[in-house]
Structure formats: C-alpha cells, structure tokens
C-alpha cells in the first residue's frame, strides 16, 4: 500500500517521508526505532516522592496567568487533574507554553516532583498528548532528519499499523517459528514500534534479528552456489626437496610459519581442493609461507600463481621469490599493467606451454589471454581485498586448483564466511624474532620542528624516512598540506640538501617505480608520499614513519602505514601528527600509541566503524542490520547459518511452505546472489 493512503499523509509529509526512504507502508513498518523511552508507570499524585522524576496521566484542568518578573523572565502554571487529584505544572520563561494545551485534553507528563503543603508541582516537564487511548510505558525514538518530528512519525506508524493485517505477510514457515520459539511477524513489527512491555520488545527484537541473519545466511549460500566448484582437484605430494629449500633460507621459520605451512601442505595432499585463508599481521612473514607452497607445487610438476593488488607489491613479491628460489631451477615471471606487449606475448606463450612455473602479477593475471598449462595453486595477497569475482576468475584458469588467500586483516571465523565463503583459516600469530617494537608518538603541529630534527638525525645516521600526507592537491579546500606544497616547504626549509622523493596516486606507474627504486636503493633519503605507500612496501632501512594529519586515517590504515618501518634491524619510530581534538581521533591516537598488535587494532577498528564500513562495504548496506549486531549476535549468526544450510541442502525453498522465505531473500539480495558475491 502506498504511503499517501494513510490518514494524515499529505504532499508535504509524503515528501518528508521520502527523505528517509519511506515510500510504502512496508517501508514505514520496517523503519525501526533507534532507541526507546521507558516512561514507567504513571503514578497517583499521593504516591509521588519529593524530588523524584515521575509520570502523570490526566487531563488539562486550568491555566494560571503567566507571571513576569522582568522583561524576559517569568513562569506559567497549568493545573492537571486525574480523578480527584491535582498537580501543577510549572514552566519557566515559556509564555507560549499555554498554546500546547487545551482544557479537557488528555495528556501525559513526565517531570521532577516538588511537594508543598498545599499542593504538588512538577517541573522540567516533558509532555505529550494521549490521542490514542492506550497508555504506553515504552515509546519509540526514531532516527530522524529535520523534515520530521518524533510525534509525527509515531502518529503515522500507529495509523499505518491499523493496516497490518493486510500488509504484513509472515514469510517464515510454521515449523521454524515453532522450533525456535519465535514471535510471529505481525506481532514483532507491532511490538518493535510500540512495545507492550519490555519482554515483548525483546521478543520482537529477537524475531527481527532472526529475520536479518537467516536471510543473509541464505543469500550467502545461494550466492555461493553460483560459484561452487566441482569436487576433485590436484593431489600435490610433499616434495623431498622442501628440506633443501628450508636449509637455503637465511633464517629459520617461526613456529607459526611452520604450523601454517604444514596445514597448507596437508591440505594440498588431498584431492579436495584447498580453500584456505592465512591471516597474519603485517611483517609476520606470509610471503615465505606462500613461497614454500608454490615451491612444493612446482616440484610436483604443476604451476602456481600469485596475485597482488598493486604493481609495487607484485614487483616486490617477484623479487623476493626469485631471490629465494634462485638455484632451484624454477622459472618465475611477472606480468603487470606495464609489461610491454612484446614481453607479454613471450610470457603468455611460456605460461601456456608450461615453461614458466610461477607467474606473479597484478589484475593483469585475470585477463582472458592468460592461460596456464596445469595450474594447481592460486594465491591472492590481499593487502586490499579482491572481489570474489576476481578471485574466481583466476581460480577458473586451473582445474580446481588449490586456493590460498593471504590477509593482514583478522576476521572472526563466523564473519569470514561473508567475506570469503567457507574457508579454513590459518593464523600466523607470531612475528619473526628480533623485531623491535615500533615506538609511536602522537604530537601536535607545535612539535613539528622537533620531530623533523629527529628525522634528520636518523637520516644522518644512515636511515631513511617516510612522511605521509593525506592528499595530493589542495583541491579539497581543507587546511591540509598537499603533498606538493609540503615537499617544496621541506626542500627549501627543513630538509635542504637532503634527497627527497615524491610519490602520489596521480603519478604514472613508471614514475612511481622510479621513485620506489630510488628509495629502495637508498639514493632517496626521505620519501614524501600519499597513502599509495600503504600497501606492503618493504624497505628495511627505513626507520621513521611520520604521518601528517593523522586524524584523517582510519586505525587499520595507520597500522599498515606504521608497518612500513621496523622491518629491519633498526630501532624504528612512528610519529602521528594531529591537532584534532575530536573524541574519535583522540581514541584512535590512544590505541595507536598503546599497541602495535594488528589484531587488537583491527578489532578496535571494526568496533569503532562497524563491520560493513570496516570492509568498505558500506555502500551495499549489506551488513547494516537494523537490529542484529554481527559482533554481539555471534551465537544467533551461527544458529541461523545452520538453519540456512539445512534449508539449502534439503532444497526446502522449493516447498510451498518456504516459498515466501525464498522470495524475501531474493528480494533483499538479488544483486549479490546474481553476481555470486558479497564483496
Ligand atoms: P607480510 O606477512 O607482511 O607479508 P613479509 O612476508 O613481507 O611479511 O615478511 C616481512 C619480512 O620478514 C621480510 O623481509 C621477510 O624476509 C622477513 N621474514 C619472513 N620470515 C622470517 C623469519 N622466519 N625470520 C626472519 N625474518 C623473516
Ligand atoms: Mg605481504
């Protein structure tokens, strides 16, 4: 039913409602309160206690004239009556208060009680008319914008709920409602807006949460079916030569690396394709684990590939892989967006006929013309995430290859299913030995010169440093230093005579490479950069990360940036410069200066920003539940997942009883199901 059919909705209200995306009655029903006002029992006047906050229900009885004590000051009194009792409401400096009441009208008052010998007064009053005859204890508080008031929306929803019998269709089958003791949908909608009591409210919330999570779980499973793989893959045995590789490494693996490596090798022995997510903080040595897995695959006679999100990263992987595998007769190649046509043709031929064993690359890897001879292992390094689609495209270049995804973002198991489907998870929960804790400081701009002279000292002793600024150009018209302005200032001022490099997103990738080369080789001492530097860059000689306007970065981003230093033997520092005084940014600075544990930081970040936004999924609204909370409702998430599995596995959606549920899922998530992915 359309919204303008409801009593009280004229053109103006209709427009106001559309500003909060309410167009139909059902939208109105699903516009849930963000909170509730618990007004408690209304009291008899005789029972009221001096000084307490109390509720009173009665009718407007009489007005006292407004009393002025000065030009602007004064008070008004109105007497209210309930049966044979009276209470006097007092309002200060509000001569217009009389307009809010009419004699004889039924009202609700909530305020502070003052008891005198002759009468009882109430001050600091919140009042409302009782136009519906039900006396409520719990009132909904809706999220609003300036076009609407609470009382308007409350009235509209009450009015709308008169049509609930025609409008609300139960979509859960009876057997589920019974088995999980759920409130029926109509009651739930009713009670989430205007709860009878606290128990009914909780019951209603449980039902809505159940809806949200069951539907999401069903949608995830339905989307997964779109990309489901055949069962059998390639059996990859554990190669005898692995020992030689391990012996050739300049260090021994950490226990965590060994454990995860074993898990991977064991997976690949099975003909069921591996589907594993490796989580490990920045610098925990994920690349080495990937190299070992690829080595083993190659020694079994198959090909492996690894995709990185940026050219700089892909290049870096290529370099460390060729270095590590040098002397083992393994042909490693790389393709990126800047590989020349000629070079690319040679590589494509060689990968197709099997001369190349390991192919590293960026998105260029998923182009159609890249064909493998016998691809058995696909690795994605997700400093930034690839979409399911991109991953799937690479995976489809092999015949059910084993799949490994590496990420520095810790995701609780129960939540990983949304991001990565049903993957097994390995965690590298240990850093290589000898790493020194990065000292982190928060400064304001008054201490900048001191920070810069500290940086100079570090450079003079042979180290290199990063300065990161949030923007490329002044175009945002914020009082932020653009990189270019900053670099001129640095060159002419603080760092005169030092060699400074500039790196930002608008440069061509050739130019970027050149600068990165300069920094890696040490000819550039100070690298001024935007966040392009954020992803995985490895220059062990760098010892200071200075971040300008640090409040502009999220926690995880700050952690990634900080992870660019402290990668070698040198004591390293991170300086966060921020003048922001907001609670949020102070909180972030506090977390950054108190821990370097990426898992703790990511968890805080997820809590501060919410799951959806943390993963950059905000625009989809997928993880923006109205009632459920992915952190707090883990148990319900698991339970509904099991229910969803059962529904899908037993093909219940084809049953008449489940028809409405299937429709509901498709309605809500048709896009995600269709493209087979949630990210
Ligand atoms: P990330 O997990 O962030 O991808 P990398 O794989 O880039 O980390 O490793 C970071 C650095 O640690 C590299 O320079 C690598 O050579 C080094 N490294 C990896 N494993 C070990 C180890 N077991 N002992 C010492 N250094 C290691
Ligand atoms: Mg890495």
Q: What is the DSSP string of 162-223?
A: GGHHHH----S-HHHHHHTTPPPHHHHHHHHHS-SSHHHHHHHHHHHHHHHHHHHHHHHHHH
Q: Is the minimum distance from the CB of 261 to ligand 1 under 6 angstroms?
A: no
- 211 Cβ closer than 6 Å to some ligand 1 atom: no
Q: Around ion ligand 2, which residues have CB less than 5 A away?
A: 536
| 467 touches 527 (CB < 8 A) | yes
Q: What is the pLDDT of residue 397?
A: 93
Domains along the sequence of the chain with CATH: 40-135 (2.40.50.140), 242-269+285-407 (3.40.50.300), 438-595 (3.40.50.300)
> Relative to the CA of 251, which ligand 1 atom is closest?
24
Question: Does the beta carbon of 38 lie inside 6 Å of ligand 1?
Answer: no
CA of 431 to the centre of ligand 1 (A): 8
Q: What angle in degrees, to the nearest 10, is found between the helix axes of 198-226 and 413-420?
A: 40
Separation between Cα atoms, residue 135 and residue 170, nearest integer Å: 28
Ligand 1: residue whose CA is nearest its atom 16: 285
Q: In what order do the strands lie in the sheet with 358-361?
A: 332-335, 358-361, 303-307, 375-381, 402-407, 275-280, 424-428
Which pLDDT score, from 0 to 100, does residue 658 have?
95
Please give the distance, rounded to the nearest whole angstrom, from the Cα atom of residue 568 to the centre of ligand 1: 10
DSSP state for residue 476 in the 8-state scheme? G
Q: How far is the CA of 650 from the centre of ligand 1 (A)?
A: 46
Ligand 1 atom 12 nearest Cα: 285
- pTM (2 d.p.): 0.67
Which residues does 417 contact at the CB level (< 8 Å), separation at least 6? 220, 641
Q: Which of 255, 258, 288, 537 to mutate to test the pocket of ligand 1 (most atoms within 8 A of CB)?
A: 288
Ligand 2 midpoint to CA 289 (Å): 10
Q: Is 280 in the pocket of ligand 1 (CB under 6 A)?
A: yes
Nearest to 321 by CA among 309, 312, 334, 310: 334
State which residues of the chain have pLDDT below 50: 473-474, 477-480, 618-620
- How far apart are the CA of 287 and the centre of ligand 1, in A? 7
Whole-number Cα distances in Å, 650 to 228, 230, 643, 655 = 17, 19, 11, 10
Rounded distance from Cα 257 to ligand 1 centre (Å): 10
Please report, for residues 294, 300, 326, 613, the alpha-carbon distance to residue 477 in angstroms, rounded to integers and kept in the order given. 48, 58, 51, 25
Map 95-162 to HEC letters. HHHHHHCCCCCEEEEEEEEEECCCCEEEEEEEEEECCCCCCCCEEEECCCCCCCCHHHHHHHHHHHHH
Residue 285 beta carbon below 6 angstroms from any ligand 1 atom: yes
Ligand 1 centroid vs 229 CA: distance in angstroms?
33
- Residue 181 has a pLDDT of 96
* Residues constituting the chain: 679
Assess whether the C-beta atom of 286 lies below 6 angstroms from ligand 1.
yes
Instruction: Determine if ligand 1 sits within 6 Å of the CB of residue 566.
Output: no
In the chain the first and final C-alpha atoms are separated, in Å, by: 33
Give the 3-state secondary structure of 272-301. Answer: CCCEEEEEECCCCCHHHHHHHHHHHHHHCC
Residue minimizing CA distance to atom 15 of ligand 1? 285
CA distance 140 to 150: 8
pLDDT recorded at residue 171: 96
Residue to substitute in 287, 289, 318, 567 for testing ligand 1 pocket (most ligand atoms within 8 angstroms of CB): 287
Quick check: CB of 283 below 6 Å from ligand 1?
yes
Phi/psi at 108 (5° precision): -115, 135
Q: Tell me how far apart the alpha carbons of residues 336 and 606 are, in angstroms, rounded to a whole number.
A: 32
Phi and psi, residue 172, nearest 5°: -90, 135
**Distance from C-alpha of 473 to C-alpha of 485, rounded to nearest angstrom:** 8
C-alpha of residue 100 to centroid of ligand 2, in Å: 65
Ligand 1 within 6 A of CB of 260: no
Closest ligand to residue 431's CA: 1
């Amino acid at each position: 039913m359309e919204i303008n059919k409801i009593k009280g909705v004229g053109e103006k209200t209709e427009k106001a409602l559309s500003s909060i995306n309410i167009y139909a009655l059902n939208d109105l029903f699903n516009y849930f309160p963000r909170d509730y006002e618990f007004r408690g029992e209304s009291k008899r006047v005789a029972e009221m206690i001096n000084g307490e906050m109390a509720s009173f229900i009665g009718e407007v009885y009489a007005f006292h004239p407004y009393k002025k004590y000065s030009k602007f000051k004064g008070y008004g009194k109105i007497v209210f009556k309930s049966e044979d009792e009276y209470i006097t409401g007092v309002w200060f400096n509000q001569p217009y208060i009389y307009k809010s009441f009419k004699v004889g009208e039924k009202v609700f008052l909530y305020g502070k009680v003052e008891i005198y010998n002759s009468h009882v007064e109430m001050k600091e009053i919140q009042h409302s008319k009782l136009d519906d005859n039900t006396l409520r204890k719990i009132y909904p508080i809706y999220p609003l914008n300036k076009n609407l008031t609470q009382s308007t929306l409350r009235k509209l929803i009450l009015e709308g709920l008169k049509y609930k019998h025609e409008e609300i269709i139960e979509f859960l089958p009876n057997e589920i409602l019974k088995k999980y003791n759920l409130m029926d949908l109509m009651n739930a909608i009713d009670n989430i807006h205007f709860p009878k009591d606290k128990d009914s409210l909780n019951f209603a919330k449980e039902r809505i949460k159940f809806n949200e999570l069951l539907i999401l779980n069903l949608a995830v499973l339905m989307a997964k079916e779109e990309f489901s793989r055949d069962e059998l893959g390639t059996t990859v045995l554990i190669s005898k030569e692995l020992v030689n590789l391990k012996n050739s490494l300049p260090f021994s693996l950490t226990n965590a690396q060994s454990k995860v490596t074993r898990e991977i090798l064991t997976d690949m022995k099975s003909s069921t394709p591996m589907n594993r997510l490796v989580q490990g903080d920045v610098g925990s040595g994920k690349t080495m684990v990937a190299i070992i897995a690829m080595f083993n695959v190659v020694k079994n006679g198959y090909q492996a590939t690894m995709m990185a999100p940026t050219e700089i990263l892909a290049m870096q992987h290529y370099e460390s892989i060729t270095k590590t595998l040098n002397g083992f007769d393994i042909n490693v190649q790389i393709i990126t967006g800047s590989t020349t046509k000629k070079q690319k043709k040679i590589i494509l031929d060689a990968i197709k006929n099997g001369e190349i064993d390991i192919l590293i690359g960026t998105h260029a890897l998923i182009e159609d013309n890249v064909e493998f001879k016998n691809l058995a292992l696909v690795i994605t390094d997700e400093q930034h995430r690839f979409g399911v689609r991109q991953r799937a495209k690479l995976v489809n270049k092999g015949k059910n290859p084993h799949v490994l995804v590496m990420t520095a973002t810790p995701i609780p198991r129960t939540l990983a299913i949304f991001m990565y489907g049903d993957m097994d998870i390995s965690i590298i929960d240990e850093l290589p030995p000898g790493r020194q804790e990065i000292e982190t400081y928060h400064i304001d701009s008054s201490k900048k010169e001191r920070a810069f002279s500290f940086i100079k000292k570090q450079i003079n002793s042979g180290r290199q440093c990063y300065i990161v600024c949030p923007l490329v150009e002044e175009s945002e018209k914020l009082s932020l230093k653009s990189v270019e302005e900053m670099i001129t200032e640095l060159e002419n001022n603080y760092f005169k005579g030092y060699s400074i490099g500039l790196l930002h997103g608008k440069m061509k990738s050739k130019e970027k490479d050149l600068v990165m080369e300069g920094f890696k080789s040490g000819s550039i001492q100070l690298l001024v950069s935007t966040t392009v530097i954020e992803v995985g860059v490895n220059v062990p000689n760098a010892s200071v990360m200075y971040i300008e306007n640090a409040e502009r970065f999220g926690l995880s981003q700050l952690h990634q940036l900080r992870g660019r230093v402290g990668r070698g033997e040198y004591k390293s520092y991170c300086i966060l410069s921020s003048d922001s005084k907001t609670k949020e940014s102070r909180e972030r600075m506090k977390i950054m200066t108190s821990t370097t544990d990426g898992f703790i930081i990511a968890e805080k970040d997820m809590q501060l920003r919410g799951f959806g936004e943390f993963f950059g999924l905000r625009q989809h609204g997928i993880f923006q539940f109205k009632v459920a909370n992915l952190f707090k409702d883990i148990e319900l998430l698991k339970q509904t997942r099991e229910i969803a599995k059962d529904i899908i596995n037993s093909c219940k959606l084809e049953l008449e009883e489940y028809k409405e549920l299937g429709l509901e899922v498709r309605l809500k998530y048709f896009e995600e199901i269709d493209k087979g992915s949630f990210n």
